[in-house]
Amino acid sequence: MNQQFKKGIKIIGIACSPFNREKDTLVTVIGAIYRGSLLLEGVLKTKVTVDGEDATDRIAKMIKQSSHYQQLKLIMTRGVTIAGFNYIDQTKLNDLTDLSVISVVDREPDLETIHAALKNLPNGEERYQIIMKNGPPKPMISSSNEEPIYVQYVNMNEEALAQLLKEITIAGRMPEPVRVARLIALAEATNE
């Protein structure tokens, strides 16, 4: 089912903290809960494994255990990989939470480089197939800036998505829930 959205819907933006691949095994993931683009209503936190395979399940669990879960309509992630190459299976995340899922990045992913890097990890080809199952990233305009962001999505109508991106993007090209989740994740990294 393709989802249509009203103004002021509740969205969770997901981003991970920076990490040191040499010494970190777990990375903090932040969820910033927004009502539309203007009101931050909550912050959630979980941990996922660097280059692991637990991001989809850990994010779903974090969301479903939240007191905000019943009002949420949309999950917006900063990319389909997190904590290095820990992939987010958008279809599975949609199935686990019954929420539409959107991934946004500010530049077109280099899928060849990603594929080559995944070959060095356990289940690398399977991970790549899951990332590809999310569909090719589509360029979309999110603000008055004519430079696109790149979007992958599940359970959304493209026209509704294009309108939503414009409504929830205030500063720069990144939608506010993901932009603020990233800022909180950066602050979290300096406190660890």
CATH number of 10-190: 3.30.2170.10
Among candidate residues 44, 31, 47, 38, the one with its CA nearest the CA of residue 86: 47
Tell me: the pLDDT tens digits for 156-191?
888 889 999 989 998 888 999 999 999 999 998 765
Among candidate residues 117, 106, 116, the one with its CA nearest the CA of residue 169: 106
Say what percent of the chain tops pLDDT 70. Answer: 95
CB-CB contact of 77 with 152 (8 Å): no
Q: Where are the domains of the chain?
A: 10-190
What are the tokens at 53? 């395979």
Overall pTM > 0.75: yes
pLDDT category at 38 given cuts 50, 70, 90 is confident
Helices 90-97 and 55-64: angle between axes, nearest 10 degrees: 20
Tell me: the pLDDT tens digits for 90-133?
999 999 999 999 999 998 888 888 888 888 888 888 888 888 88
